[in-house]
Amino acid sequence: MSEHDVAAIRTLAGLATPMALRVCVTLGLPDRLREEPADAARIASEMSVSPTALELLLDHLATLGIIEHTGTGYRTTEFGATLCSDAGNGLTNFLHLDMAGGRAELAFTDLLQSITTGNAAYPVRYGQDFWADLARYPTLRESFDHQMTDRFRDQIPRIVTGYNWGRFRSIVDVGGGHGTLLAAILAAYPLLRGHLIDLAPTAHEAATAFSAHRVQDRVQVTARSFFEPLPTGADAYLLCDILHDWDDEHARHILARCVEAARPGGRVLVIEPVGGRHAATEFNLAMLVIFGSRERRVDEFRALASAHGLVLDTVTDLTDQRCLLEFRLTDHS
């Protein structure tokens, strides 16, 4: 192995840079140093951190191009501004150690536990699973909701145009979060009616999206777990980025709720990355360590759903990241 190869592996494996970026965001350094340059002593005083240690961090961030030295101290670069809280790219949530995304990423330190057992590493680190953590800490729940909205905001137009939603009269968005996807679908199809299901207060925030799209008169919101009975009689039940957050047992339970609620001839629509098709290997590991799940392959979806009388009719590539799998109920067709 060449010295270049060794150096490349060290770079890939090193934890200093990823953790430096996370601490940088958690301290709010990109925002602070964008407004006004300052030296390490002044920033340390403002943030109640060690000035000596902070200077080590700032020097490494300067090496990375996140900040730069000026005559009056450190300043955020144009590249570093990508990490500012108002950048609107979701990176703050992904990196901030006190937000859902950044907190969950640290479960990777127990990846060996997940590989050994096949179970989530998140409870090993935090003493309870991801969902119990969100229920206990409202700020985590809020940041998770925003993360889910940010994660596929740019893909919504292609999701709306890539499938004929108008074939249905009614659709239930199961675990629909803040309602951004359902609002866009309803806006594009004026004859369609919707019903969003999610936990409070997440579900209550959906009213903003529905009002913004002027579809509030065609949608209903219910604060409820998708492990409980769902509203009955809809043409379609939509699960967008839901099943990959759960192991097979819980995923089957969610599908069972959809099946028992659907009207005769109804459909269950699953939108998420599909293993071997539109699923990044890195994100697949994240599903494992955080949730004890994975990005399932088509045959795994087919087997998961067949237990409930669901037959996979079509798989549609909506974006470069997500597919739509359409299931029909064989006992009702």
**Which residues belong to the active site?**
244
Cα-trace Rg, the chain: 22
Q: DSSP readout, 95-121?
A: H-TTSHHHHHHGGGGGHHHHHHHSS-S
DSSP β-bridge partners for residue 73? 70
Longest Cα–Cα distance of the chain, Å, equals 74
Burial of 289 (0-12, 13-18, 19+ CB in 10 A): buried
Q: Which residues contact 10 (CB under 8 A, 6 or more apart)?
A: none
Bond preceding residue 51 cis, omega within 30 of 0 = no
| Secondary structure of residue 69 in the 3-state scheme | strand
Contact 211, 180 (CB under 8 A): no
